[in-house]
A and B are shown apart, each in its own frame.
Chain A
Amino acid sequence: ETGVTQSPTHLIKTRGQQVTLRCSSQSGHNTVSWYQQALGQGPQFIFQYYREEENGRGNFPPRFSGLQFPNYSSELNVNALELDDSALYLCASSSQGGSYNEQFFGPGTRLTVL
């Protein structure tokens, strides 16, 4: 069984740039959730994708957007980067979109905005 993978592992951008982060879900999972984890804080829910549609969203501005592909992999796009966007971005996959099943997290992408 292949676990959740994310790419890249680290990324450095400057303010105003755009970034795309990628996530491959665990084999057999059809739901991907994205989280932002600032240093010393718990993860904050950005949004979830199920069957290629957004299926719930946290309190993040529209410049945070996403996609899910037919193979259930997903992308997180952030436009107009701000310094406060510096964080660890985690994706988590699970097997259903309508109810909670255990979410398996990937190792994360550490984004630094200068």
Chain B
Amino acid sequence: RKEVEQDPGPFNVPEGATVAFNCTYSNSASQSFFWYRQDCRKEPKLLMSVYSSGNEDGRFTAQLNRASQYISLLIRDSKLSDSATYLCVVKLAGNDMRFGAGTRLTVKP
């Protein structure tokens, strides 16, 4: 079993759609949680951190359920510019960051 597992994707959605990505992690000692975005042939960039209470940044909402070891990302009112691969990231002790394989999103006109 992979340490961080994500929806396989790809997700192809029309502009304006709401899309949700799920992620599960296996290590209960995981300390911090993040979503990164990676455009094709580019480096990953931090999208948002994920907190237990849930957090929102504009059209993006992240949720964490420590008991179920589950993380989610919701994107509302999708834009063409949201097309990218979304990486679920879990930080273990000792600065060890574990990335999921990523879920590819394509938003179409």
Quick check: B102 and A42 within 8 Å, CB to CB? yes
Quick check: A45 and B96 within 8 Å, CB to CB? yes
A101 to chain B, nearest CB (A): 10
Q: Which residues of A contact B60 (CB under 8 A)?
A: none
In the assembled complex, the Cα of A49 lies from the Cα of B45 at a distance in Å of 20
B44 closest partner in A (C-beta) = A105
- Contact A40 to B95, CB < 8 A, known contacts A102-B46, A105-B45, A108-B43: no
B43 closest partner in A (C-beta) = A105
Q: Which residues of B contact A44 (CB under 8 A)?
A: 99
A: contact size bracket: 20 to 34
Number of interface residues of B (CB under 8 A): 20
> CB within 8 A of B95: which of A90, A97, A106, A108?
A97
In the assembled complex, the Cα of A56 lies from the Cα of B31 at a distance in Å of 15
Q: Which residues of B contact A57 (CB under 8 A)?
A: 94, 96
Supply 18 further A-B pairs (C-beta < 8 A) apart from A57-B96, A100-B91: A40-B101, A42-B89, A42-B102, A43-B44, A43-B87, A43-B99, A44-B99, A45-B96, A45-B97, A48-B95, A57-B94, A58-B96, A90-B44, A100-B31, A103-B97, A105-B44, A105-B45, A107-B43
> CB within 8 A of B32: which of A35, A42, A100?
A100
> CB within 8 A of B42: which of A41, A103, A107?
A107
In the assembled complex, the Cα of A105 lies from the Cα of B94 at a distance in Å of 19
